[in-house]
């Protein structure tokens, strides 16, 4: 099997002799991967700092492809179907799974880790319940981005948003862009996108965002107050997370407002508890997504409410995996999303 391989820390290579996963269970679906995105977690695995993506491995969890074989108990899919994949499943037995919180299952399996060969390989095998129909008018590259944007859908649909809601998204990487695209579907009063990269801010303007702030060059607090009639954000989404950004989020969110942690953040950061309590801020956090989010993003994209192509800045054939990882890691030029093609 062809694929991108991380044999050890800080080594990435293409191989054409990787073991090809096979159907072992009656509900298994085997998929020939057509496109797979490189996520920040692949870079973390490459650097040896990811908690559960540990080399050697075939990583990759942003997947779209074609079904080539199904287990005998599979009823919803057949060979030839175009699909994308929700790259996780719970144990099915614990309290979380039984309460439809399988994304929080403590025994959850995640594609491209723990011995589950990932989407940077030519084939994957996955349970039927993780497979999602890919609309005919979506490309495989767009299908590989459904996972990225589904993160935003999960966070947004669990956040109270109405016609008078002012939203600030801090960070315009793929997660922040997903937050923006999904929040737009709820028709809030205003969405303000914040970053220090002019390239990323230009990308979100191309996607329709009218309110952007470069917090490196502009007074973030004053600009947010200008956009919100001096009140502050009703909802601030942390799509980038470090201590200064967390402090800024508390400053720009109105009293009684909501802060949503969507970025991965390190333990041990100082938290502005005084402002949090005095301003009666609500602090929420969200982890990954559920199947419903994949279906909603597929539908919105198919109906023309999202243009996922604008997320893609670089495409490589899988044979160029080493070069693609260098681009995703070192970023010698502006990068939003790297897609591998088979």
- SS3 of 67-136: the string is EEEECCCCCCCCCCCEEEECCEECCCCCHHHHCCCHHHCCCCEECCECCECCCCECEEEEEHHHEEECCC
Q: Which two tokens stand for residue 278?
A: 């005095």
* Helix, strand, or coil (residue 342): coil
Distances (CA, A) of 206 to 152, 209, 211, 309: 19, 7, 12, 11
Q: What is the pLDDT at residue 317? A: 98
Q: What is the pLDDT at residue 314? A: 98
Q: Residue 56 above 90 pLDDT?
A: yes
Average pLDDT over every residue of 26-51: 95
Beta pairing class for 190-195 and 82-85: unpaired
Residue 67, beta-bridge partner list: 31
Q: State how far the Cα of 49 lies from the Cα of 70, in Å rounded to an integer.
A: 35
Extract the runs of DSSP E, i.e. beta strands, from 217-288.
Answer: 233-238, 253-261, 282-285
Q: What is the pLDDT at residue 51? A: 87
Q: Which two tokens stand for residue 202?
A: 């230009």
Average pLDDT over every residue of 50-72: 96
Angle between helices 198-206 and 174-184 (to 10 degrees): 30
pLDDT band at 213 (very low <50, low <70, confident <90, very high): very high
Q: What is the pLDDT at residue 263? A: 87
Distances (CA, A) of 222 to 180, 200, 251: 21, 21, 11
Q: Which two tokens stand for residue 273?
A: 């508890």
Q: Residue 178 above 90 pLDDT?
A: yes
Average pLDDT over every residue of 33-60: 95
Instruction: Tell me what the pLDDT averaged over the chain comes to.
Output: 96
| Range with lowest mean pLDDT among 51-55, 132-136, 318-322 | 51-55
pLDDT tens-digit map of 267-310: 888 889 899 999 999 999 999 999 999 999 999 999 999 999 99
Distances (CA, A) of 242 to 34, 103, 118, 186, 286: 35, 24, 29, 28, 16
How many beta carbons lie within 10 A of that of residue 280, not counting itself? 9
Average pLDDT over every residue of 214-235: 98
**Percent of the chain residues topping a pLDDT of 90:** 95
Per-residue burial over 65-83, b if 16 or more Cβ lie within 10 Å, else e, is: bebebbbeebeebeeebbb
| Chain centroid to CA 99 | 24
CA-based nearest residue to 32, from 143, 109, 151: 143
pLDDT tens-digit map of 65-115: 999 999 999 999 999 999 999 999 999 999 999 999 999 999 999 999 999
Whether the bond between 142 and the residue before it is cis, its omega within 30 degrees of 0, is no
pLDDT tens-digit map of 128-164: 999 999 999 999 999 999 999 999 999 999 999 999 9
pLDDT tens-digit map of 231-274: 999 999 999 989 999 999 999 999 999 999 998 888 888 889 89
Q: State how far the Cα of 113 lies from the Cα of 56, in Å rounded to an integer.
A: 10
């Amino acid at each position: 099997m062809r694929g991108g391989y991380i044999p050890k820390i800080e080594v990435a290579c293409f191989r054409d002799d990787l073991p090809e996963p096979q159907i072992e269970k009656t509900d298994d679906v085997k998929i020939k991967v057509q496109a797979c995105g490189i996520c920040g977690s692949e870079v973390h695995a490459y650097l040896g700092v990811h908690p559960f993506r540990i080399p050697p491995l075939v990583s990759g969890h942003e997947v779209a492809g074609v079904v080539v074989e199904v287990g005998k108990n599979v009823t919803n899919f057949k060979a030839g179907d175009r699909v994308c994949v929700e790259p996780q499943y719970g144990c099915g037995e614990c309290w979380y799974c039984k309460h439809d919180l399988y994304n929080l299952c403590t025994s959850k399996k995640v594609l491209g880790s723990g011995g589950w060969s990932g989407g940077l390989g030519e084939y994957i095998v996955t349970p039927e319940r993780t497979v999602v129909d890919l609309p005919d008018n979506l490309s495989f590259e767009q299908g590989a981005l459904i996972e990225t944007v589904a993160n935003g859908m999960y966070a947004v649909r669990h956040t109270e948003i109405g016609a008078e809601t002012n939203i600030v998204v801090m960070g315009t990487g793929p997660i922040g862009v997903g937050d923006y695209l999904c929040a737009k579907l709820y028709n809030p009063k205003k969405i303000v996108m914040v970053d220090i990269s002019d390239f990323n801010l230009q990308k979100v303007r191309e996607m329709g965002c009218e309110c952007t702030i470069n917090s490196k060059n502009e007074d973030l607090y004053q600009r947010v107050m200008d956009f919100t009639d001096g009140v502050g954000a009703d909802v601030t989404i942390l799509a980038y997370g470090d201590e200064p950004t967390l402090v800024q989020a508390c400053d720009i969110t109105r009293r009684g407002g909501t802060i949503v942690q969507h970025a991965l953040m390190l333990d041990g950061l100082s938290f502005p508890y005084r402002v949090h309590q005095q301003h009666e801020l609500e602090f929420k956090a969200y982890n990954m997504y559920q199947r419903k989010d994949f279906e909603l993003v597929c539908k919105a994209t198919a109906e023309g409410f999202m243009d996922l192509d604008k997320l893609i800045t670089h495409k490589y054939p899988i044979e160029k995996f080493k070069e693609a990882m260098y681009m995703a890691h070192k970023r010698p030029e502006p990068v939003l999303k790297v897609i591998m093609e088979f």
